[in-house]
Structure 1
Amino acid sequence: MTFRAGCLREWVLNSAEADLAYTEQAFPECPTCPHRVEPEGGPPFCTLRPVNTPHPFAALAGLNLPE
């Protein structure tokens, strides 16, 4: 299955998981990437999702909350 990062890099990996965490952060732009996640108490990572899979929060984009 092909997984894509926020920076549009792709990896072909054998996994049935819906998301993967890329913790290597091996590319020069990783430290300043806007897609990088920095959890408290854990290493920074980038989320890899299967290509053509909508973002899990995409459905919230059209949500209209009353004021």
Structure 2
Amino acid sequence: MSTFKTLADPSASNIAEMVIQGNTMGATKSTRHLGDYAGGNREIRNLAERLLHTEEANAAQMKQFL
């Protein structure tokens, strides 16, 4: 699907929008999983939190290309 979107509009703005949407969906899912996680393994929680922060940072960095 993303290949067709980039073929239709290969502009930096369009690609940035797709990256933002993907990272936002990932951040939402990560947040949901973190809330549901009942395990006590701190290493797993830290890894999930790092992933969440990375997804949020990626989306923020792409905004300059919109």
TM range (shorter): under 0.3
More strand per residue: 1 or 2? 1
Higher Cα radius of gyration? 2
